[in-house]
Amino acid sequence: MAKSKKAKEKEAAPAATGSFRAALRAGEGFDLLALDTGSTPGFDGDKEAGEALMPELAETAGDLQERLYAESKLGGKRKVLLVIQGMDTSGKGGIMRHVVGAMDPQGSEITSFKSPTKEELSHHFLWRIRKALPKPGMIGVFDRSHYEDVLIVRVHNLVPPEEWGQRYGEINAFEQEVVGDDTTVIKVMLHISSDEQKERLMERLDRPDKHWKFNPGDIEQRREWPDYMEAYQAAIEKCSTDVAPWYVVPADKKWYARLAVMNLLIEHLEELDPQWPEVDFDVEEQKQLLAET
């Protein structure tokens, strides 16, 4: 229990200003294009200050995650689903590495959704998503998600407009159901500018150790940037619900995006406030028995 107190003291550290949830939530009248992708909502420190906070935030997140996991071992059903969306190079991989990777790998599971396979395409678009939902005590992380079915699918009309048009409602109903199954859903869009993407793609071409991350199709997609922004705007507008709101994280500054997602995760876990579970055996008796072995 001492650890919890320690974690709570740490959380009160100076530079993490206020609530990232409040600062980043896409609410009524949200306008993606009006958002400054280089800004740092909820935080008034610089890169150095932000990076300096990460180790203790990682410890806080790790502690909360372990409690959530422990809770499930004695029957707890709660779990967390972190959905990460964003254009190519927006830093999804960095979030996996530096935020998810900062916690015990036994308590989280990343699922990367690529282009659907033939089998996946033969099912409803939510079929593969349902299979990847987190188990009790776990933090499930989606690297891309069911939102691709109203993003690339919409931009390229991979299904008729009537069909993708219906999906927003289906997604809301699905997420309502997931939340009803004791899942805390945190949906994050990493939002970069087109210029920032250009720089990051150029870096991939400049560095031989980054070549493998580059795909000539990435350039093609840049022409569709406005269509993608429109599709993101629609997805956020239609699917930022009370039970599962969207958080839009300005992501031109990688250090800020990581700090923001880490804090979003912690704020949600703190609301869950998982506790070390009470065991159903007599501890003193077990000590006695153990001593005799």
Sheet architecture: strand order including 139-143: 108-112, 139-143, 79-86, 183-191, 246-250
173 HSE (CA, 13 A, CB side): 6
Q: Which of 214, 233, 234, 238 binds a copy of itself (CB under 8 A)?
A: 214
Q: Which of 222, 224, 229, 238 binds a copy of itself (CB under 8 A)?
A: 222
Q: Which of 198, 233, 237, 245 binds a copy of itself (CB under 8 A)?
A: 198
**Should residue 209 be labelled a site residue for a copy of itself when binding is judged by CB under 8 A?**
yes
Q: Which of 73, 123, 135, 156 binds a copy of itself (CB under 8 A)?
A: 73
Asked if 78 contacts 136 with a C-beta cutoff of 8 angstroms, the reply is yes
Judged by CB under 8 A, the stretch of 116-124, 126-134, 169-177, 277-285 that binds a copy of itself is: 277-285
Helical residues (DSSP H) of the chain, grouped into ranges: 2-11, 20-24, 47-73, 92-98, 118-121, 127-131, 152-155, 161-180, 194-206, 217-222, 225-239, 254-272, 283-291
Closest distance between a copy of itself and the C-beta of residue 74, in Å? Answer: 6
**Should residue 289 be labelled a site residue for a copy of itself when binding is judged by CB under 8 A?**
yes
Binding flags for a copy of itself, 8-47, as an x/- string (CB under 8 A): ----------------------------------------
Closest distance between a copy of itself and the C-beta of residue 222, in Å? Answer: 5
Which 3 state secondary structure label does DSSP give 143? strand
Q: How many residues sit in the footprint of a copy of itself (CB under 8 A)? A: 45
Closest distance between a copy of itself and the C-beta of residue 259, in Å? Answer: 18
| CA dist., res. 141 & res. 79, Å (int) | 11
Judged by CB under 8 A, the stretch of 168-176, 198-206, 241-249, 254-262 that binds a copy of itself is: 198-206
- Per-residue CA distances from 12 to 16, 19, 178 (Å): 8, 11, 32
Closest distance between a copy of itself and the C-beta of residue 91, in Å? Answer: 13
Cα 68 versus chain centre, distance: 17
DSSP of 59-104, one letter per residue?
A: HHHHHHHHHHHHHHHTT---EEEEEEEESTTSSHHHHHHHTGGGS-
Binding region for a copy of itself (CB under 8 A):
1, 3, 70, 73-74, 93, 96-97, 100-101, 103-106, 108, 110, 112, 143, 198, 201-202, 205-206, 208-209, 211-214, 216, 219, 222-223, 276-279, 281, 283, 286-287, 289-291, 293
